[in-house]
Structure 1
Amino acid sequence: MTGDRAEMLRAWHDHLTKDRRRSPHTVRAYGDAAARLLDYVQMRDWAAVGRVDAQATRGYLAARRSEGLGNVSAARELSAVKAFISFARTRAGLTDTAPPRLRGPRIKKGLPRPLTPDDAVNVADAVEQSAATVWIGLRDRAVLLLMYGAGLRIAEALSLKASNIPLADRLVVTGKGGKQRVVPILPVVRDAVSEYVTSCPWPLPANEPLFRGAKGGPLSQGMVQKAMAAARQWLGLPDTATPHALRHSFATHLLGAGADLRSLQELLGHASLASTQIYTKVDAATLLTSYRAAHPREKEVDENQ
């Protein structure tokens, strides 16, 4: 199937907005990356773009890096380009629609282990994009957003029953030791779960697990970890970017935004405040890293060493 540049980008935009229901920010970023790739390879039909391999993709990224693209931006660019090539292969009717096997640049993550807010959202988007089917992608995205948006443990997210649907703005969660707590549910999390429920091909009786595996049984932690590992590779994130890191990210970002420790303790379901206090060290470490990267005097000292 052939078409000009504008038609290809329009089809890509429609796929992201209508089929994948991506955010406007993601649609814009992925659209820009696709346009740059088309200009680089000078191709104007789906089959040709679908044949773009790892070597050609590596050359494109090298060209982008020569323009001053940093590791984080390069990893995101690679994720977008892979998604576009996979889409092109689907449009061309190719049997193998998997994107080129190419690992993104390593992004150094000091202590602590949480992801940045952008990376947390990008991971949720990446698991959706890289899934074998639409409903599984929506399922995995919903699980990860529950962990990041509500601070749930992976076991807590997977223990939810279909009776919890539709989600309200608050959710009662049973954590370790049978201790219950109330967590707020953001609209984006609620919408993600609703989209999964609508697309799920399996019956969801009220007293049964909400999240289902590909064959209809309860979704296992291993499958969520596998999806996260694939997204991590797409984005070039370190091995510390695990599902549980999303819960750490939830806590760290709340603390950085001014949440007090007692409130954070309740949201996380920690029995002891000492367990929550680790996030003060996490936030301080992040602040110190940012200070050292930005302060002129620190830069001068580093250059003279």
Structure 2
Amino acid sequence: MTGFEARAAFLDWLEKERRASPHTLAAYGADITDLLGFLSNYHGAEPDLASLGALRPADLRAFMAFRANPGGKAKGVGTATRARQLSSVRSFMRFLAKQHGVSPNALAGLRGPRLKQPVPKALRVAEARDVTTETGSVEHSPLQAARDEALFTLLYGCGLRISEALALNVRDAPRAATGLRVLGKGNKERIVPVLPAVESAIANYLAARGGPLPDAPLFIGARGGRLDPAVAQKAIRDYRRLAGLPEHTTPHALRHSFATHLLGAGADLRSIQELLGHASLSTTQRYTSVDAVHLLETWQKAHPRSN
């Protein structure tokens, strides 16, 4: 079996056994093609199963180095792309090991490029407040306007992911006295406190709906079904264009703003971690970088010797 025949078998397995999407199949196929093309030039012949089994970690490191800097006029790919390609190669080699007995020794001790965690982009306090209270102005229906105000007030006031908010039913409506039970990633539950402004916005929206049944979705679309995240994203996108807000003004930016503004007000990282439902404190620590940026901006504007 040649390397490209092995590639075809791997993609067939991904499609039929793993039910991979067309996009995933295209990405994996391109990554393995890059590997096989490199090995053909590197060793002077198209690889077969035997030569793939004889690969060493140094061969794969050479492939990753080539992808970063192919030489000549060709431009190397970025860190994220190389990390994805290495993941594809790992899956390919493990498939060959299980299905064809090929040794996966080339993967031993192999580490991918370290990805730099992006700094969350938060809104300013005034911008976040405007999104919660003014985004509904782009809606033609008073009910949809009340829904958008309630949804975005909930995202900013409780730090929820958009998926967490849209999964709520009417019986889950947040109340300041009892807090809100949220089912997050990995089916992990957490209780978040609820501000009176959040409870009020939700209550106004439910009153406009005319007392829906407890098992009905809390946030509904124009046709009465559970609200699609794309509709919420479009509402903010339309408003930010009218208001001249930055491009990172999205529903998820309200969650970032919730954490950043709490940190700036003196909340500790552990508390913010629990409120956001982060499994690792290192994820929450990204917000310290955001707050440092805001502190620098404040210093530059306020300090008499900053100019």
Whether the 8 Å CA contact 1:173–1:183 is kept in 2: the answer is: yes
**2:163 corresponds to 1:155:** yes
Instruction: Provide closer, same or farther for how the CA distance between residues 112 and 269 of structure 1 changes in structure 2, counting only shifts above 3 A.
Output: closer
The answer to whether the aligner puts 1:276 opposite 2:284 as a matched pair is yes
Select which of 266, 272, 278 maps to 2:274.
Answer: 266
Provide the alpha-carbon RMSD of the alignment: 1.5
Tell me which of 168, 173, 193 is aligned to 1:165: 173
| Structure 1 match to 2:134 | 126
- Measure how far apart 1:294 and its partner are: 2.3
Structure 1 residue ranges without an equivalent (≥5): 1-110, 300-305
**Contact 1:149-1:185 within 8 A present in 2 as well:** yes
Aligned to 1:216: 224
Aligned to 2:202: 193
Structure-1 residue corresponding to 2:188: 179
Cα distance in 1 for residues equivalent to 2:128 and 2:122: 9
Q: For 2:174 and 2:303, locate their aligned partners in 1 and report how far apart those are by CA, in whole Å.
A: 48
Give me the TM-score of the superposition, normalised by structure 2.
0.59
Q: How much has 1:116 moved relative to structure 2?
A: 1.2
- Measure the CA separation in 1 of the matches of 2:137 and 2:128: 15
Q: Label 1:179 to 1:166 Cα distance change in 2 as closer, same or farther (>3 A).
A: closer
Distance 2:232 2:147 in 1: 10
Aligned twin of 1:239: 247
Q: Are 1:139 and 2:144 an aligned pair?
A: no
Give the corresponding residue for 2:293: 285
**Which amino acid is 1:198 matched to?**
A
* Counterpart-to-counterpart distance in 1, 2:199 and 2:154: 9
- Structure 1 residue 168 displacement after superposition: 4.1
**8 Å CA contact 2:181, 2:191 repeated in 1:** yes
Distance 1:230 1:125 in 2: 14
Q: Tell me how far apart the structure 1 counterparts of residues 131 and 217 of structure 2 sit (CA, whole Å).
A: 24
> Would you say how many aligned residue pairs link Structure 1 and Structure 2?
188
Q: Which residue number corresponds to residue 305 of structure 2?
A: 297
Q: For the pair shown, which has the larger CA radius of gyration, 1 or 2?
A: 2
Does the 8 Å CA contact 2:174/2:180 hold for their aligned counterparts?
Answer: no
| Letter aligned with residue 291 of structure 2 | D
- Contact residue 133 and residue 153 of structure 2 kept, 8 A: no
The one-letter code sitting in structure 1 at the alignment partner of 2:155 is M
Note if 1:206 corresponds to 2:214: yes
SS of the residue 1:258 aligns to = coil
Question: Highest relative contact order (Cα 8 Å, sep 6+), 1 or 2?
Answer: 1
1:250-288 CA-partner distances (Å, limit 9, x unpaired): 000000111001001000000000000011111111101
- Partner residue in 2 for 1:49: none
Contact in 1 for aligned 2:264/2:291 (Cα 8 Å): yes
Deviating runs (4+, > 4 A) in structure 1? none
Gap runs ≥5 in structure 2: 1-118
Contact 1:166 1:194 in 2 (8 A): no
Confirm or deny: 8 A CA contact 1:128 1:137 kept in the other structure. yes
- For residues 277 and 120 of structure 2, what CA distance do their matches in structure 1 show? 20
Would the aligned equivalents of 2:166 and 2:227 in 1 still touch at CA under 8 Å? yes
